[in-house]
Structure 1
């Protein structure tokens, strides 16, 4: 298939997916809230070793992640790490434009940094649909857990005006690298997927108005 034909096909697929999501989508209602296991702050892998070992891996063993690992990854990305509410990743003005979600074959989790908790809802497997919105990258569907980094730049707009989107994107990078290094320290593998159609993905996940999906991070045990 020629490049032009491929682009047209991708655009048509995204438009069809978007139409379905718009017809079916609304802000999701979570049915349960759970306390996540207390994060471990004394790991056995040094920062230097984690940096050296971090690689993008796209094949995963069919083994679910324990809730302890999921909680640790979320804490590394947006966990509260100081008494005044500052988080693990820097944010412009400490306004925190990010929300973290986890998609598994059976549920969606939304991280609540305060008190290190998550709200959850049971769902059909959303990974195939998200794969279709990420140029059919197989890792999105193959990983037992899919970390979703969503941004709401409007939280920064009042202070930073036109630079809000830039600062939100920078924040995404900070949080994502934290989670990638944490994955290494936990003996997991991961890959970042930036080629995602953010607005339709947000609708598929039932995210609140104003949030868009910026990054997907398939994560799991190595195949």
Structure 2
């Protein structure tokens, strides 16, 4: 009897620990496999560079899972599986970043917070409900409120041997997102002026992670 009680206590402790890691309203569930990204497009790199703009106002229409998939791949997708290399360069290939998707109005995805998993190109559910609303309230930036989705690019301060490398890597990933949005006829704007401590707390980032970029996503 004592062994059964000990086993149940251990299981409860494990569930509590998992919830602490994954945030409010979170429950560990199976990953969501994203559609395969496209590797060829109709817009050249030169044209994407010319047409890249910051967009702060978005149409009231949903994004598709395929569009989200393409954007996440551009940010941190794996391009050489054997070596684990990604779309954005990283000093010594350490890859300090984690990209989170805050889905509000994405066809085929429940509203909530998701962690992008480059290995397997999938989403790991983190928190259910109006996670984007919590992000908006903490950041206080209007474009987040009206956008159907938003990205948070977070960096691991705990793993970064040189913190400046982490910020450089985040800039590479953010520019990839900007350029990828051009052929998708989507827009974003890099959010600045938010309180990172407040955002980290509101979205329950794991200990050691820091919000570096917030990028709302929407249709122009």
TM-score, L = length of structure 1: 0.81
Which structure has the highest strand share of the two?
Answer: 2
1:40 match: secondary structure = coil
Q: Tell me how far 1:199 sits from its aligned partner.
A: 2.4
Q: Tell me how far 1:121 sits from its aligned partner.
A: 4.3
1:147 match: secondary structure = strand
Among candidates 177, 180, 194, match of residue 178 of structure 2: 180
Task: Report the equivalent of 1:91.
Answer: 90
Task: Report the equivalent of 2:141.
Answer: 137
Specify whether residues 140 and 68 from structure 1 end up closer, same or farther in structure 2 by C-alpha distance, changes over 3 A only. same
1:76 match: secondary structure = helix
1:32 match: secondary structure = coil
Instruction: Compute the RMSD of aligned alpha carbons.
Output: 1.6
Q: How does 1:26-65 map to 2 (within 5 A)?
A: 26-28=20-22, 29=26, 30-65=28-63
String of CA shifts for 1:74-98, please: whole Å, max 9, x gaps.
Answer: 1111100013111100111100010
Rg (Cα) greater in structure: 2
1:126 aligns with 2:131: yes
TM-score, L = length of structure 2: 0.82
Whole-angstrom CA distance in 2 between matches of 1:38 and 1:131: 30
Whole-angstrom CA distance in 2 between matches of 1:170 and 1:121: 26
Which structure has the highest helix share of the two?
Answer: 1
String of CA shifts for 1:39-62, please: whole Å, max 9, x gaps.
Answer: 100011111111111111111112
Alignment length (residue pairs): 191
Specify whether residues 92 and 170 from structure 1 end up closer, same or farther in structure 2 by C-alpha distance, changes over 3 A only. same
Task: Report the equivalent of 1:77.
Answer: 75
Task: Report the equivalent of 1:169.
Answer: 167
For the 8 Å contact 1:32–1:121, the answer to whether it is kept is no
Unaligned ranges ≥5, structure 1:
1-24, 158-163
Among candidates 151, 158, 168, match of residue 147 of structure 1: 151
Q: Tell me how far 1:212 sits from its aligned partner.
A: 1.1
String of CA shifts for 1:159-199, please: whole Å, max 9, x gaps.
Answer: xxxxx211100011000000111011211111110222222
For the 8 Å contact 1:75–1:88, the answer to whether it is kept is yes
1:210 aligns with 2:215: no
Task: Report the equivalent of 2:16.
Answer: none
Task: Report the equivalent of 1:114.
Answer: 119
